[in-house]
Amino acid sequence: MKVLVVGGGAREHALGWKLLQDDPTLEVISAPGNPGLAAIGRCEKVAATDINGLAALARRESVAFTVVGPEGPLEAGIVDHFRANGLAVFGPSKAAAQIETSKRFAKELMLAAHVPTARARTFTAVAAANAEVERLGAPVVIKASGLAAGKGVIVATSTAEARDAIASMLEGNVFGEAGHEVLVEEFMSGEEISVFALTDGTHVLPMIAAQDHKRIGEGDTGPNTGGMGAYAPVSIATAGIAAQTVDRVFLPTLAALRAAGSPFTGLLYAGLMLTRDGQKVVEFNCRFGDPETEAILPMMASGLLEPMRAIANGDSIAGAPPIQWRAGAAVTTVVAAAGYPGAVDSGDAIALPPDERDVIVFHAGTKRNSDGQLVTAGGRVLAITALGASLGSAQKLSAAHASRVQFEGRQFRADIGWRDLARQHPGA
């Protein structure tokens, strides 16, 4: 059986890796892929945005189904195109993907469905947005409504900072078209977790919670990034919170999308803030998150292949057994290029340490140069996932392996999971 994985980052490498773990006879084809994916399957030079080319590739290779990794092709309607051409595909339609691609759409949907979330208003004019900031006061959250590569959210600690963020989006074009509409949202206090659920549009298979670390510096300092690491499971994401998330977040949201004529199939990702008033949705994503995927999938003791295949074929997952999880924890440490999250250089030679038990190296921004040397090709270069009997042992193993990766100016955080470790070992 063949499966096509669309994309070329660490998330897609983790998806291909997990599917191959489930069925070692599987042939994983990636487009465009990366050197990590090339080591476990075959890569085809078709861009993730080339929908016609991807459909032709899926047809030519007679793949069982296609898995769409990034949000860009989903926003462009890849699932609609594949389904119209009789090709099985895992992911939501263009209309359903608005749950991520339009924060205005998502907010209005949540409020109508009584899904707990922060109050927010949408603006296209600077003056009106600034007036809302003055009404709410600081801290306040400013969000680009469209896709901004995970960087379109500013938590402003002063009204002046909020006004600057609004001006940079609406007038400075800092996020391009994604920032031509902004949300001014009330600030929520608490701790944020990421919860994924596989869904056929009606039923869900929830996954264990993970926590992403967005800031570049240890102790969550410095500018936001696309994610410097993640860990799973999260101790504060109790069984009660997991059940409430299904009942109060996933099922009402899916029902609202069905009622809107845009049933959602694929992977629905809820970013939740655990507040004193219970969990509230910060945002939804319409696909697997990165780097959470690299921490969650290695923790799966049961298979991803069969429920994913069923959803891609339009079948129900009602009655599917709950996902089983291995004991212990996983920690993913992102190794990033010098200058990230700002401008970075590409083409620096990478020296990887020897393979190590319980460590998986997922390729994020790498390529082979004309001499076949592995070199950097992006801001986030590698995602080092380690499995351990405890969060502490997984963190140490992940950070130690990351420290042995060599390339010019490489940077990483050695404290992924620090909040949970502080809870487990207060005063340490």
Does the 2-91 domain belong in CATH 3.40.50.20?
yes
| Sheet order of strands, 211-212 included | 211-212, 229-232, 329-336, 380-388, 359-363
Rounded to 10°, the helix 159-170/126-136 angle is 160
Tell me what percent of the residues of the chain surpass a pLDDT of 90: 86
Tell me what percent of the residues of the chain surpass a pLDDT of 70: 99
Q: What's the DSSP call for residue 396? A: H
Does the 191-312 domain belong in CATH 2.40.50.140?
no
**Homologous superfamily of 329-424:** Phosphoribosylglycinamide synthetase, C-terminal domain (3.90.600.10)
Are 51 and 81 a contacting pair, CB within 8 Å?
A: yes
Can you give the three-state secondary structure of 238-259, one letter per residue? CHHHHHHHHHHHHHHHHHHHHH
On the CB side of 36, CA atoms within 13 Å amount to: 26
Q: What's the DSSP call for residue 320? A: P
In this prediction, residue 180 carries a pLDDT of 86
Q: How confident is residue 338, by pLDDT bands cut at 50, 70 and 90?
A: very high
Provide the residue ranges of all domains of the chain, joining segments of one domain with +.
2-91, 125-180, 191-312, 329-424
* Rounded Cα distance, 209 and 44, in Å: 33
* pLDDT higher than 70, residue 294: yes
Q: Are strands 2-7 and 65-68 parallel, antiparallel or unpaired?
A: parallel
Q: What pTM was estimated for this model as a whole?
A: 0.93
Range with the poorest average pLDDT among 31-35, 114-118, 305-309: 114-118
Q: Which amino acid is it at 335? A: V
- The pLDDT mean for the chain works out to 95
162 vs 425, which has greater pLDDT? 162
188 vs 199, which has greater pLDDT? 199
The string of DSSP letters for 343-366 reads ------B-BPPPP-TTEEEEESSE
In this prediction, residue 103 carries a pLDDT of 87
Are 251 and 169 a contacting pair, CB within 8 Å?
A: no
Name residue 32's beta-bridge partners. Answer: 7
Q: How confident is residue 94, by pLDDT bands cut at 50, 70 and 90?
A: very high
In this prediction, residue 251 carries a pLDDT of 98
Region of residue 308 (left: phi > 0; alpha: psi -120 to 50; beta: else): alpha
Go through the chain and tell me how many residues it has. Answer: 428
* Rounded Cα distance, 200 and 311, in Å: 5
* Rounded Cα distance, 331 and 291, in Å: 10
The second-level CATH assignment, the architecture, of 125-180 is 2-Layer Sandwich (3.30)
* Rounded Cα distance, 70 and 36, in Å: 17
Q: What's the DSSP call for residue 247? A: I
